[in-house]
Amino acid sequence: MLRNYLKIAFRTLWKNSTHSLINIVGLSVAFGTCVLLFLTATFELSYDRFHTDSDRLFRLYFLSSNRDGTPDKSSTMPYPISPALKAEFPEIEGVSRYFNRTASVRRKDQAYGKNVRMVGADFLKMFTFLLLKGNSGTAMNSLSDIVISESMARDIFGKEDPLGKPLQLRMNNTWQAFTVTGVVSDAPKNSTFDYDALIRSENAGDYEENKSRWDHGNHDVYVKLKAGTDPQTLQRRTQAFMDKYFAKDNKEQKELGYPKNELGFQRSLILQPLLTVHFDTETTHGLGISRTYVVTLLLVGFFILAIACINFINLTIAQSFSRAREVGVRKSLGAQRVQLFGQIWGETLMLCLGALLIGLGLAYSALPYFNRSFQSHLTLADFLKPSVLLITGFGFLVITLVAGGYPSWFVTRFNAVEVLKGRVKMSRPGLLRNSLIVTQFTIACLLIVCTVIVRQQINYLQQKPMGLDKEQVVSIPVGNDLNGNDALKTMRDRLANQPNIAAVSGSGVNIGAGLDGSSSRMMYGFLYGKRNITCDWLRIDTDYLKTMGVKLLQGRDFSTSFSTDSSSAILITQSMAKQLGETNPIGKFIKPDNKEFQIVGVVSDFNLYSLHQEAKPIALQMQSNSPIQYILVRVNPQNLTGAMESIKKAWKTVAPKQEFIGSFLDENTERWYKKEQRLATIFSSAAGVAILLSCMGLFSIALISIQQRTKEIGVRKVLGASVTSIVTLLSKDFLKLVLIAIVVASPIAWWAMNKWLQDFAYKIDIDWWVFVLAGALAIAIALITVCFQSIKAALMNPVKSLRSE
């Protein structure tokens, strides 16, 4: 019997080859796309879950309020908070600072650029990073100890045992000696922490100067609670701790009229679970990823799968009338309804199984392109995990039950007597089919609108004036091996009088995301009279305004003619002058960090960081003790290639052993928005797949619908109906469904995109024409799909369709 069922199933699928092909292609694409998207989302959701006690690990951040009452969160911690917390709260098992730093490592005159993170002595005891060599209890006891990763040990020592071997690290412009005391496994890809080496945080250059200051922060702090400790209870207990150590700051905030935070205090210490840090976009210095992105991956995967299932259900039900006589005969010969259900559902199972295998093959083939497009890290091993195989198998069964179960039940309902008498109504499909078509086109319209709005926002961010001229400016990272001030002086000398070079300067902060992958920010808060001032503190050098195209509005620029410019003079932006309440601030003094600076000039506002956040007022200074991290070169646009060659040649004399990784600022600023570019790619790709699957389904439904109305079309043509009237008759019902889909999708898309745009300080307004464009596109696609079959039917010879009557 089973053999007979299989034979019938193959014959049925072959007989309806067009519809079978549409189903297989649709389901294959859906399965393949969903597997990739779901695996990517699962990877993002797995961040930091590999730690044994991940539920007891927390990151700290301060919660206060801005003057307008909005929450102000900061994860930047002062040095003394770590030992104070451990001493005053016995519930805390471990505390560790964490600095996201890089450094040059040297052994036997061979230098390496590595991610050397500064952490607390408890770091390896708190987090589950396997120590391959050494003792986790003592590996970081001394300030001269260094624990290196497995990869770094292989790069530097090869097969040699690194334990006890010396290394030198370039820190604070000098080479310092360290001893390897441990080798730790490489951090997993789904880890918040990444490292090549770990050293104690007390090695930071400003540690001795600021180790007792509660008003100076520059690092993150993580804590591990003892088993059984309630984090909420501990968090409430830390309020007294905050009132004790930040009493002066709290008093000043209160006197200046700053409202209390949402917990009812001037400032609170919040314990943020480690498992949520990866999804924090506010306090992770741009390293976090929005949970919306992960939810979007899951929704898009679900939408595509839903469209494929809708197509399958609609096609199977539409074909059910052609199988009515077969079902009637089988019932009259004694077949049970369960047997009929099993046979028809078995056909579904075979088709879906074939589609799944093809889909997995497509997913694997597309893996390299997918990883490049979405910055994912999927491998074949991710597909073969037992949990993934189990979920895939379970999902496959659910889909076959949903997509094949209802049509199978629908077909087996036919009454054998009515069928054999030819009384099965070949009526127009009802509410279910129409609802499913509306659903799939609603999804398609929703994705079209989202694609257009996301791309509009990206274009807006990239084209919005930043207050500086980022075109034709090359940014060169100095790196850790060189003294930035000396490197800048040498580059100036080498590029002087070069016809392709317009200006050369230096800065402590890059504009955009450079090829070195590094970012930094220094901010100061201080009182000016009774005003509370917060500003970005930017190290620059002479000719910065000329190099970057920033306008001088009042006063003068920095100059080598004034000796005080490199110690106590500053330039401020227009918005900072406004914040100070001064119409003419030239000659006025400010005292950030208890040091006095005189304002010598006011410049136009410019964006130092991405447009996700509103530009802060900026103070520009030339303190010689602050390092130059980037050399900036403005080139003449007539010969960009020649200018770049001149810069590379000059850099070769400055750092002959260091790779040149200079880049144009306009390219750097585009990299600021790579997450948005990735989201746009997801939406546009998903919209393309959704439209393709919807059209395939609509094409097949239209084909079956027209086949069922062949005689009606023949009669109408005999009675004088024109081709246009017949095409209109056959198309209008489908177009009505698409119009309903547009009406349903538009408010949903507006709400979702409006919520997404709230993450940007600078954003577009959603225009009405976006919805009109999406609707017109959906109608045009549906019309082309349906009209192809409608015109073909209308041109058919009516004699052929009426011959059997």
Q: What is the DSSP string of 267-309?
A: -EEEEEEHHHHTT-SSSSTT----HHHHHHHHHHHHHHHHHHH
pTM of the model: 0.77
pLDDT digits (tens, 9 = 90+) for 406-416: 666 666 665 55
pLDDT digits (tens, 9 = 90+) for 454-490: 888 888 887 888 888 888 889 888 877 778 888 888 8
Decide if pLDDT at 802 tops 80: no
Higher pLDDT, 58 or 535: 58
Q: How confident is the model at residue 427 (pLDDT cuts 50, 70, 90)?
A: very low
Instruction: Identify whether residues 488 and 523 lie together within a single domain.
Output: yes
- Reference 526, options 574, 606, 597, 587; nearest CA is 597
Q: How many domains does the chain have?
A: 3
Domain endpoint, select from 603, 636, 671: 671
Instruction: Identify whether residues 256 and 295 lie together within a single domain.
Output: no
- Which domain range does residue 120 map to? 54-277
pLDDT at residue number 439: 84
pLDDT at residue number 805: 47
Q: How far apart are CA 368 and CA 22, in angstroms?
A: 27
Instruction: Identify whether residues 479 and 410 lie together within a single domain.
Output: no
% of the chain exceeding 70 in pLDDT: 86
Q: How confident is the model at residue 95 (pLDDT cuts 50, 70, 90)?
A: very high
Instruction: Identify whether residues 7 and 154 lie together within a single domain.
Output: no
For 337-353, what is the mean pLDDT? Answer: 71
Q: How confident is the model at residue 565 (pLDDT cuts 50, 70, 90)?
A: confident
Q: How far apart are CA 607 and CA 531, in angstroms?
A: 23
Domain endpoint, select from 671, 695, 719: 671
Answer whether residue 371 is part of any domain: yes
pLDDT at residue number 229: 92
Domain endpoint, select from 252, 277, 302: 277
Instruction: Identify whether residues 72 and 185 lie together within a single domain.
Output: yes
Answer whether residue 721 is part of any domain: no
Q: How far apart are CA 661 and CA 483, in angstroms?
A: 17
pLDDT digits (tens, 9 = 90+) for 744-763: 989 998 998 888 888 777 88
pLDDT at residue number 395: 77
Lowest model confidence (mean pLDDT) among 79-88, 132-141, 254-263: 254-263
Instruction: Identify whether residues 418 and 564 lie together within a single domain.
Output: no
Decide if pLDDT at 675 tops 90: no
Q: How far apart are CA 595 and CA 590, in angstroms?
A: 8
Q: How far apart are CA 666 and CA 187, in angstroms?
A: 33
Decide if pLDDT at 426 tops 50: no
- Reference 451, options 234, 642, 682, 647; nearest CA is 682
Answer whether residue 571 is part of any domain: yes
- Reference 311, options 342, 346, 351; nearest CA is 351
Close Cβ partners of 721 (under 8 Å, ≥ 6 residues apart): none
pLDDT digits (tens, 9 = 90+) for 215-252: 878 889 999 999 999 999 999 999 999 999 988 888 87
Instruction: Identify whether residues 177 and 252 lie together within a single domain.
Output: yes
